[in-house]
Amino acid sequence: MPHHDLVIIGTGSGNSLITPDLEGLDIAIVEEGRFGGTCLNVGCIPTKMLVVPADRVVEAADAARLGVTFAPPHVDWPAIRDRVFGRIDPIATGGEAYRRSQDFVTVYDQHAEFVGERTLRLADGTEVSGDHVVVAAGSRAQGLPVPGLEHPDPARGLHTSDTIMRIDALPPRMLVLGGGYVACELAHVFSAYGVAITQVQRSDVLLTREERTVSEACTAAARRRYDLHTSTTVTAAEHVDGVWRVSVLGADDRTEVLEAEMVLLAVGRVPNGDRLAVERGGMEVDEHGYVVVDDHQRTTAPGTWALGDVCSHWQLKHVANHEARVVAHNLEVTLGRRDGQLQRADHRFVPHAVFGHPQVASFGPTQQQLAASGTAFVTHTQRYGDVAYGWALEDLDGFVTVHATPEGQVLAAHCVGAMSSSIVQTLVHAASFGQPAHEVARGQYWIHPALAEVVENALLGLPTSEARGSM
């Protein structure tokens, strides 16, 4: 049985674990798919490369409000697709080639399952073990528990985000099932490219994990662009003569049949721990199938660590990267490659963004969550349209909501509108470093008339004791 000092399962953020301090160890990498993981191949990077041209199309249409009109856009889908994957695929191929070139790294390009603590069986029957094992196997898109929709079938036009971005041609119609960030981003993309979108969401709003006002704003914006069915449940589906006929039950208990040439299943992602049989490796999983880890990213099995989507409910690349840095440090300490103490992962203020139109970004608890927990807080909402750059944008929908303690410590922020993913970062900084809200607002210059003034005014609007004390 091949035995290694370190076995890494997964080549997303797991691939970054091989730091200079660990080079020279006997390291194995287990990867049955493409190097680079979800983010590089089917997630963050290709979707954002598709979002950028989609944004340009929508912005051009919106420009009429500013007194500028353009001819209807021509969308060259093969050119857009090939630009994306013409850049991404060589990175994945090159990453694998580089690891294979390192004489202290062994690459096993097969599926693997645990058969004991720190011991894996590969698809060809070979067993591989390690002194330390890192599980960084990510997550996968799931289907719907409706006959015909349980599993993707790209040959019949039934896709997940794993395959929808590589289709040969745009369909006339697409049915998007789901209302989370994947569904909303890709509905935005394909709607902008000229596909007739119908989106089905079982809840009454899209993006249900967001602040309620953010969810409502995004839902209203989506209704203005395409056919949206909320409070609607999928009950049946069939594929006849190249067309999907999906039966849905609405809030009024009426059944309707929706038709489209292509269906996107965007109903969530599940961790891949079950595919690895992690419990046979001594690891506990929670009720949702995530590998249980402590603050140091250690699992319940000795010598076994986990990071990223396989153990993190956030399912965010920047969280996986942070956890990978923690695991790399802790491995170096454990293996005697560096002095110091084990590091703890910091998940206090985890931001996320939804790159739809409008953009969304937030971190921290919602107003409903704060109220339910009994936390004392104050809040203020600043609309984009009430600052100078918001006037220039003719923005009618964008806003920033900040929640803080009565003493002025930022607890959370929820943004919707242009550049939200960048706007929120100042507030993440303030919360992470414990900077009082009024101090952040008054302790520095804010460029006028930049859109960042919306953050300044949101902080100044908080009715905190620190603000009252500075008057």
| CB count in 10 Å sphere of residue 264 | 27
Assigned token pair, 76: 């060259």
Give the residue from 276, 324, 336 showing the smallest Cα distance to 18.
324
Q: CA–CA separation, 313 vs 306, rounded Å?
A: 13
Active site residue 448: yes
The amino acid present at 360, given as its one-letter code, is V
Beta bridge partners of 23: 25
Of the listed 151, 313, 429, 448, which one is catalytic? 448
Specify the long-range contacts of residues 17-20, CB closer than 8 Å, at least 24 apart: 17/134, 17/136, 17/324, 17/327, 17/328, 17/331, 18/99, 18/105, 19/328, 19/332
Among all residues, which ones are annotated catalytic? 448
